[in-house]
Amino acid sequence: MSSQLGALVGAHLSDRRRSLLAWGVPLGLWSAFIVLIFPSVEDALSKATRDYPPALKEAFGIGELTNVEQYLHAEMLSLIVPLAIGYLAVRAVASGLSGAAESGRLDILLSAPVSRSRLAAASFAATAVELAIVLALTVALTGLGSLVSGADLSLGSALAGYANVWPLALVFAALGMIATGFSLRTSVVTGSVAGVLVTMYVIDLVGRLDPDLSGIRYASVFRYYGNAIEDGIDPIAFLGISAAAVALAALGAWLFDRRDLAA
């Protein structure tokens, strides 16, 4: 019944068309701004970063800021984009499940011959597409910024850097689905998973800052995130995180299938 899945994904994206722009355009403009200003701040940045404490540079994955890719990673891809897109992922998946329950839409959809697990799968798939569109929009505006400024940004590298956020964010979408198995209140789902998102980021940060605590990084998915804009996408990490996200989403769909949907 792939037509059902297609219909549900299409409806989800149609409902969230404003959100696509509301997230993609500001992130893209911000990213484009970083690229735009790079030529004028390049020399000052190189001088400044040489004086940064090594631990700080290690923590935020900052090497020498001698090219625009390094600057984009330090300013956008090491903190802002993964946290923002991770949060967007939770909101998107919740809108298709707990949000639909709160608005009454879930009751209507479940009066049709569609299983709950298919509904959950559609919400996850639609979230994956939504994230891809937002990231593509961000890359497009970033590329535009590079063209205007002559910053000599490698579009392939930028694409790799932003695409690398996608599986990471899907993990948090999947955790959102699991949270929906326990609560149909969107505020509870987004709040709890946003807490996990920030906690995982902090765990990874602490693990990087203190070598004695580096073991705790294994408790965080950020451990496997890397620096794809400079190093390229690590296919094992990319596929591994994606597979973990799908497995967690399947668990979330199972929990959603088993729970009561009270009025």
CA distance 102 to 140: 35
Is 2 or 53 the residue whose CB approaches another protein more closely? Answer: 2
What is d(CA 156, CA 172) in angstroms, rounded to the nearest whole number? Answer: 26
* 40 part of the interface to another protein, by CB under 8 A: no
Question: Would you give the binding string for another protein spanning residues 95-124, x where CB under 8 A is met?
Answer: -----x--xxx-xxxxxxxxx---------
Among 2, 215, 235, 263, binds another protein (CB under 8 A): 263
Nearer to another protein, 106 or 158 (CB): 106
Q: How far is the CB of 258 from another protein (least distance, A)?
A: 8
For another protein, the closer CB: 4 or 242? 4
Nearer to another protein, 42 or 257 (CB): 257
Find the binding residues for another protein in span 59-88 (CB under 8 A). Answer: none
CB 260, min distance to another protein, A: 5
Nearest approach, Cβ of residue 97 and another protein (Å):
13
Site of interaction with another protein (CB under 8 A)? 3-4, 7-8, 11, 14-15, 100, 103-105, 107-115, 258, 260-263
